[in-house]
Amino acid sequence: MVEPTVQLVAAVAVGALAVAVAGWVESLPFSEATVLATGPWTVAAGGVVVAAEVGVYDGVPFVTVPTLLVSLLVVALGIWFAFTGIAELRKRPHSERYLAASGTGTAAVVLGGLLYTAPAVSAVRLAWIALAVVAAPVVAVGPYFVLSLVYTDAVARLRFAGLYAVAAVVFDGVASAIATETLGTGREALVTSGLSLTAEAAGVSPSGWQLLAAHAFVGVVAVAAFGRIGRWRPAVGYAGAAVLSVTALGSGTAVLLSAVLFG
């Protein structure tokens, strides 16, 4: 497994590149709905990472975690661009629904395969997944509401995309807390790894649950920055929110599924 520090640096580098591309290619059809539509594909990516780690693809030539993730990205981008073009030609709105629908189908297949592959899993362990899914947006709503009072322009620009990004960062923390504090796997998602390294450098050692406040703060500050950028370059603001949510939700999904199903 790649070291968390290397993963974090790689995620930041890829994210910066994606935001830079969005700023350079002004015609990218990024919108609030696009950010939300990446969710199912992100969950599928997290599931694929876990499947590769537990040996589901052993024996298949040239199949590694990077090649699987790149393949998913290519398919998702192909569907996004293809159906966006078709929707524009036919003058149909909401082309992002095709991206979301295809991602939901892919995620269902991947997660179903993991459940079939995993040893007997109790309902109590599966309940931790439900807890993370419910707790993350509940925790994120409060800080996002405060942001709407302090910096209304950011929320007005990103709206639900901003809330989704903050919730994804909090999900990263909830998943890591469940994996480390409750299920004892010792594995942390990317944002949590970065916060843990920062806390260690500061000479403190908070628990995974105590770090949730820091997750919410990081998510709100990042969304505020993307909202400000989005006032002048909307595509860059949405791209930043998308990269943040994909990084946090994807790594959190991988950590949580690995801990619950195979921990």
Can you say whether residue 190 is alpha, beta or left, with left for phi > 0 and alpha for psi between -120 and 50 degrees?
alpha
Q: Is the pLDDT reported for residue 113 higher than 70?
A: yes
Per the model's pLDDT, the better-predicted residue between 216 and 54 turns out to be 216
What b-and-e string marks burial along 226-261, b requiring 16 or more CB atoms within 10 Å of the CB?
bbebbeebbbbbbbbbbbbbbbbbbbbbbbbbbbbb
User: What is the chain's mean pLDDT, rounded?
Assistant: 84
How many angstroms separate the Cα of 226 from the Cα of each of 106, 117, 190, 221, 243?
29, 40, 20, 9, 11
Q: How far apart are CA 85 and CA 69, in angstroms?
A: 24
The values of phi and psi at residue 23, to 5°, are: -75, -30
**What average pLDDT score do residues 78-102 get?**
77
Residue 138 makes CB contacts below 8 A (sequence gap 6+) with: none
Point out the least confidently predicted range of 30-34, 93-97, 235-239.
Answer: 93-97
Name the nearest CA neighbour of 228 among 167, 150, 129.
Answer: 150
Alpha carbon distance 136, 169 (integer Å): 8
Spatial contact of 190 and 15, defined as CB atoms under 8 Å apart:
no
| Residue 39 backbone zone (phi > 0: left; psi -120 to 50: alpha; other: beta) | alpha
Average pLDDT over residues 117-141: 91
The model's pTM is 0.88
Rounded to 5°, angle at Cα 261 from 60 and 184: 120
Is the pLDDT reported for residue 240 higher than 80?
yes
